[in-house]
Amino acid sequence: MSLATRRSSRVLFLASANPGKLREFHAAARPRGIDVQVLPGFAQLPPCIEDGNTFEDNARKKSLHYSAFTSELVFADDSGLSVDALEGAPGVRSARFAGPNATDDENNRMLLAALHRIERDSSGRPALRPASQKRAAHYVCVIALAERGRILTVVEGRADGLIVDTPRGSGGFGYDPHFYFPPLNRTFAELTAEEKFAVSHRGEAFRRLLEFLI
C-alpha cells in the first residue's frame, strides 16, 4: 500500500477490546470520516504479552503483534497513570496495580493506600510536604500504528492533574474519579466524553495519529 493510499484509509482497527477506549476513539475519528473498529476476531487471537518497561514498549509490541493478522492498519495504545510521589507508579502496571485481574475499584483503593502510607512520617503523623506535591500525577498515552509487522508511527499524549481521596463523577473509567484536572476544576469522571477527550492524554495522542493519517 502506498503512503498516499495508506493515509487516506477510512478504517482503522483497534487492537483492544476495551469498550471505553473504543467509544472514545470512534467518537473522535468519525468527524474525520474514519471508522474505528475492533480488529475482527480480536478475542480469539493469541494475546500479546505486555511485558515492556514503558508505555511505548507495550504499544509497539501490541501493534506489531496484531498487525500480523490483517493487511489493514492496526493501532494499539498503552496508557496509564503515573504519580510523582510513588516514583511513577502505577505506570505500565496501571490496569493491574492491585493484581492481574483487579477491578477499577481495587486499583483505586491500592493507589490511595499507597499515597496515605507515604503521606505520614515514621511516627504516623501527617508529613509536612505540600499536598500539591504529594498528589501530583499525570496520565500518559502512547499509540503505535502498524501495518503488516512494520511500525508506521508512534505518538504520545499527556494530561497533568492531582489525585483526590474522594471519588467524583460517574463517567470515564480506571482512575478517572480520583484524577482531578485543575484547568476545568473537575475530575475526569465528571467530564462528558467529549470534554474529556478534548483534554485527555488519549485524546492528544489520537489527534496526533489522525494528523499523520490525514
State the Cα–Cα distance between residues 180 and 168, nearest whole angstrom.
Answer: 9
Runs of H (alpha helix) within the chain: 3-7, 19-29, 55-67, 104-118, 131-134, 193-199, 201-213
Helix (H) or strand (E) holding 134: helix 131-134
Residues 197-202 have a mean pLDDT of: 94
The yes-or-no answer on residue 78 being catalytic is yes
pTM for the structure as a whole? 0.87
pLDDT at 19 over 90: no
DSSP 8-state secondary structure symbol assigned to residue 50: -
pLDDT at 81 over 80: yes
When the pLDDT of each residue in the chain is averaged and rounded to a whole number, the result is 89
57: number of Cβ within 10 Å? 16
Structural domains of the chain sorted by starting position, each given as residue range(s) with its CATH number in brackets: 3-213 (3.90.950.10)
Of 35, 78, 84, 121, which residue is the catalytic one?
Answer: 78
Closest CA to 168 of 160, 158, 180: 180
